[in-house]
Amino acid sequence: MRLILSLMLILPVILSGRIIYGGPGDRISGFAPGDTLVCTLKVTVKVPARIGLYVLGNTEFDLSNPILTYPPAVFPGYYNPTSVQGTNNDGINLQVFSNSPTMTWHLETRGSGNFTTTVALDQLYYAPNGEPDPQDGQDPPGGNWRSFTTTFVEIANGGKTNGWIPHDQDYIFQAEEDDEPTPAAGATTTIYYRLYAQ
């Protein structure tokens, strides 16, 4: 009898249980058992439009290296790097990032100036990774090889990248018959890469 009486008191509460909603900062309460309490809140995520540029590759052409033949049998002679900083044995590692589906990114490069008075900036060439080497005596080298200039030149463009994408560049040096010896430590120019989106 006591059980029946308890069920008669509890059953209406269970059957008439309510769902009570509250928002951020609300302190809600209800009957137990029976009522269900639900609090809601909002989570906001803000992702900015971003571009990114990664370059690795201080590069050296040492024409005194014993594995090379200098002077070449015919000028101009073309030489691959003898020392690179990254994992691209023929030049530099370069990656680009953009998360915007509505903007176009532009990748450009240039050099700061000549190596010496007789070794010009335009004797340094670049091409997309994997470009075949030119034959000695061929001037200009042909293919996709372009010489560096002191003015920015676009080398790639695109849209959303879905992560970092590679744009590695190969380098070759064009030895010419009027090149004079550099200082023992070598002669250096600075190469710039810039990325912007619009």
Contact between 110 and 94 (Cβ < 8 Å): no
CATH number of 51-197: 2.60.40
Nearest residue to 179 via CA among 56, 70, 68, 37: 70
Segment 80-95, tens digit of pLDDT: 999 999 999 999 999 9
pTM of the entire predicted model: 0.84
User: Tokens 């069920």 appear where?
Assistant: 7
3 state DSSP class of 12: helix
Boundaries of every domain in the chain: 2-39, 51-197
Distance from C-alpha of 156 to C-alpha of 196, rounded to nearest angstrom: 11
Tens-digit pLDDT string for the chain (198 aa): 565 545 554 555 455 789 999 999 999 999 999 999 999 999 999 999 999 999 999 999 999 999 999 999 999 999 999 999 999 999 999 999 999 999 999 999 999 999 999 999 999 999 999 999 999 999 999 999 999 999 999 999 999 999 999 999 999 999 999 999 999 999 999 999 999 999
Contact between 170 and 127 (Cβ < 8 Å): yes
Segment 135-158, tens digit of pLDDT: 999 999 999 999 999 999 999 999
User: Tokens 């000549």 appear where?
Assistant: 114
Pairing of strands 91-98, 77-79: unpaired
Contact between 162 and 97 (Cβ < 8 Å): no
